[in-house]
Chains A and B, each alone.
Chain A
């Protein structure tokens, strides 16, 4: 049972690595501003799909990686991602029943929340100025859910990650 439960961990890790690569992949500046939060999308998917395996502490570890790669304060993304994972774990049975657009709206809210909290944290440390484009990732993440969710589900079913 235990060996079965751990089946496919490396594929999940690979999906997170892919998300990290996509996070720093060079894009034209307009697309860069609207870059979906790939790591958050991936995390939300895995927590919703396999809540018994991926939860707050996986989120914490991924968050640390994200902090280091984006050069933020260590622990900032770790906190945000753990919080997102917490919300997802509490709500997963409900969210699974949502239609795709409703799930996308849920993702939009979560990413928007994380952006807001990130702004608060950074503002507490030093004053930051943002433009309207700061919020674009929430919108594009919501839209990208329509692509990313089928992609990861296909990945999961094909590789029998459970």
Chain B
């Protein structure tokens, strides 16, 4: 008994104090995997049964609906491609690391019940597929969690809502950074240490901020449901509903970090661009009097009109050149004449 107890205690300490027994653990987990698959058989069988027995009309309807969905996603994807290209170009101008899309893989959740006190799921991809501990896992709607344990063909994913889990997030509307902690309840997170006076509203979308360098940034994490502001307290109590639908995620997406690279000729790329914008902003008022009278009808006034317009009429710089061009033609010409 004493030998067993000591052995167990040693194992526990080793497991808790670091990854000393990760090898043993992974081997055991791999050996025990068939049990998990057997346990998931009834549910898979039920799923297979309902799929097989679905009526023709039902299938047709579903097919129709999926086609519609795919169409709308395709149209959105067109925009995304353009936006990604634009984003890459702008990042190049700022000489910051450009993000390429990393490797991804779809995994299925093995339908087994684990400890009711812990929020975790098993997926059917493991170290054979290159899954690693700490990897980010998404579902179709947002961030789901991270991998905490890897066996040969399965991996354990700790969900965002587990009380041991926290994820750095950003309020999408304001850019405010916070940390969302799991509550242990299904689909519920909590924002901690957000001052009462912060500009934050119910319904705000939270996206991953990528500050912990574990989750990629910009993926939806949740939405703020309730904010309780108690004037006696320094921090507001903020409840969040996760974007990921944890009660029914059948398929999840594994992400690998994208390859980041620094553009090599960053200095030559970015400086002319910045110079050009600076020049148009600063030099326009000075050169405008000389420029505008000479070329009143070509497209050049459209470029210089904001510059001309700002000192003359104090109009906001956001007015579009097309609308201001005719209006500013007269003040510009009068100013030009006055000069």
Q: Which residues of A contact B (CB under 8 A)?
A: 17, 20-22, 24-27, 29, 32-33, 35, 56-57, 59-60, 63-65, 68-76, 78-79, 82-83, 86, 121, 125-126, 128-130, 133-134
Contact = CB atoms under 8 A, between A and B. Distances in A.
Given A24-B36, A26-B111, A79 B9 contact: yes
B279 interface: no
Contacts of B35: 17, 20-21, 24, 69
Interface of B: 1, 4-5, 7-12, 14-16, 21, 24-25, 28-29, 32, 35-36, 38-40, 42-43, 111-118, 120, 148-149, 156, 163-164, 184
A129 B163 contact: yes
B12 A76 contact: yes
A26 to B, nearest CB: 5
26 contacts: A17-B35, A21-B39, A24-B36, A25-B112, A26-B39, A26-B40, A35-B116, A56-B1, A57-B4, A60-B8, A63-B8, A69-B32, A69-B35, A71-B118, A71-B120, A71-B148, A71-B149, A71-B156, A74-B12, A78-B4, A78-B7, A78-B8, A78-B11, A126-B164, A133-B116, A134-B117
Contact of A56 (B4, B111, B118): B4
The binding surface of chain A is classed by DSSP as: helix
Contacts of B117: 128, 130, 134
Contacts of B9: 75, 79
Contacts, number: 106
A75 B7 contact: yes
A74 B35 CA distance: 18
B312 to A, nearest CB: 66
Given A25-B42, A32-B113, A70-B114, A64 B12 contact: no
B188 to A, nearest CB: 14
Contacts of B163: 128-129
A86 B4 CA distance: 10
A130 B163 CA distance: 12
Contacts of B43: 26
Contacts of B12: 73-76, 79, 121
B165 to A, nearest CB: 12
